[in-house]
Amino acid sequence: MKKDTHPDYHMITVEMTDGTTFQTRSTYGSEGDTLHLDIDPKTHPAWTGGSRKAAQGGQVERFNKRFGGLSLKSKK
């Protein structure tokens, strides 16, 4: 195996947006550094399911909303 091909993994502290911390191995920074997160799974709507817009309906609903007032008269 070649020498110096693997990254240097070391222990860092990760600080979440609410102030909680945990230890993990990473290639970020150097041993003992702290990574401060701006966005994390506890607060971001992509993970929490909040601030989601309701579905606007399918194509048929949109068509009926746009053209619902039109009527076709049969020619006899």
Tens digits of residue pLDDT in 38-55: 888 877 777 777 655 555
Q: Which two tokens stand for residue 62?
A: 């949109």
The answer to whether the predicted template modeling score (pTM) of the entire model surpasses 0.85 is no
| DSSP character at residue 67 | H
Please, are residues 14 and 28 in contact by the beta-carbon 8 Å criterion? no
The Cα–Cα gap between 14 and 33 comes to 9
Residue type, 1: M
The Cα–Cα gap between 50 and 56 comes to 17
**CA nearest 9: which of 23, 26, 22?**
26
What's the pLDDT tens digit per position in 4-41? 888 889 999 999 988 999 999 999 999 999 999 888 88
